[in-house]
Amino acid sequence: MEKLYYSIGEVALMLGEPVSLVRYWSNYFSRFVKPSRTGKGNRQFTASDVEALKQIHFLVKDKGLTLDGAMRSMRGDKAKVAAPVKVLDALKSIRDQLTEIKKML
């Protein structure tokens, strides 16, 4: 079951990036990532925020775009960006499953 909200630490672990980078991206790409805040001011990311951050991660880290280039891509056709991100997520999941199976052997 999917959670309603993710902490910034959880999102950083999902992306394999430091918390400071997730914080920076959530500020820079505020048009696409709109975390709510707790009473203490901590960010709470929804599943759509996490998906947007995964797309940003793909554009910047995998495709090598600048932040401005990633912003332009995000403003354009989001479906073009979302498809490769979903494929990468599926492949990572398969790799994790295979690793678990290998451990059991």
Distance of CA 12 to the CA centre of its chain: 8
CATH number of the domain where residue 19 is located: 1.10.1660.10
**pLDDT of amino acid 6:** 95
Beta strands 43-45 and 6-7, pairing class: antiparallel
Higher-pLDDT residue of 88 and 50 is 50
Main-chain phi, psi angles of 68, to 5 degrees: -65, -40
Per the domain annotation, does 72 fall within a domain? yes
pLDDT in tens, 34-47: 999 999 999 999 99
* Single-letter code of the amino acid located at 92: K
Q: By residue range, what is the domain housing residue 37? A: 6-104
Main-chain phi, psi angles of 7, to 5 degrees: -75, 165
- Is pLDDT above 60 for 14? yes
Per the domain annotation, does 1 fall within a domain? no
Per the domain annotation, does 99 fall within a domain? yes
Structural contact between residues 10 and 49, judged by C-beta atoms closer than 8 angstroms: no
What would the mean pLDDT of 11-30 be, rounded to a whole number?
95
- Is pLDDT above 90 for 25? yes
Q: pLDDT class for 81, splitting at 50, 70, 90?
A: low
Structural contact between residues 89 and 54, judged by C-beta atoms closer than 8 angstroms: yes
Q: pLDDT class for 92, splitting at 50, 70, 90?
A: confident
Overall number of domains in the chain: 1
